[in-house]
Amino acid sequence: MDKQNNFPVETLEEQLIIIVDKYISKRYQLGDKSFSYQLYLLFVGYHLKYFYPKQLYTRSNRNIDNIMTMFSSAYKCLISNLLKQLNNKEAVLRELNSLVNYIDDNQETTEEIYTT
């Protein structure tokens, strides 16, 4: 259970959405050009900590493909009651959309993050 929002979190993907919501609450500033990059790093770190050791979302030899697969599963959680309970519904949706655009536009850079 997420103690701050007081609603059950059943999956790691739902927990990721809660973390994104909290991250946006604390870090987002209008006009911040590096926010999508920072959000991508959050996704990479979460993937490496929680999914990679369990061999979840690891089928591709391209790391950004694995991140996008994890992203898709996390995004599906938003059609549940979870979206209604987020503090920043609109911002979460907007920034997740921006994240997809960032990854698509910067594939080489986002892949290189794993090699540094």
Across residues 9-19, what is the average pLDDT? 91
The residues spanned by each domain of the chain are 12-115
pTM: 0.84
Q: By the 8 A CB rule, do 92 and 17 touch?
A: yes
Give whole-number Cα distances, 95 to 6, 62, 83, in Å.
23, 23, 14
At a CB cut-off of 8 Å and minimum separation 6, what does 47 contact? 57, 66, 67, 70
> What percent of the chain has a predicted confidence (pLDDT) above 70?
92
pLDDT digits (tens, 9 = 90+) for 37-84: 999 999 999 999 998 888 888 888 888 899 999 999 999 988 877 888
Say if residue 3's pLDDT is above 80. no
Confidence of residue 104 (pLDDT cuts 50, 70, 90): very high
The predicted model gives 22-39 an average pLDDT of 92
The pLDDT assigned to 6 comes to 58
Closest by alpha carbon to 46, among 27, 26, 66?
Answer: 66
pLDDT for 116 beyond 50:
yes
Cα 93 to Cα 8: distance, rounded to the nearest angstrom: 20
Distance CA 110, CA 68 (A): 11
Q: Which residues contact 50 (CB under 8 A, 6 or more apart)?
A: 12
Q: What's residue 7's pLDDT?
A: 58
Beta bridge partners of 2: 7
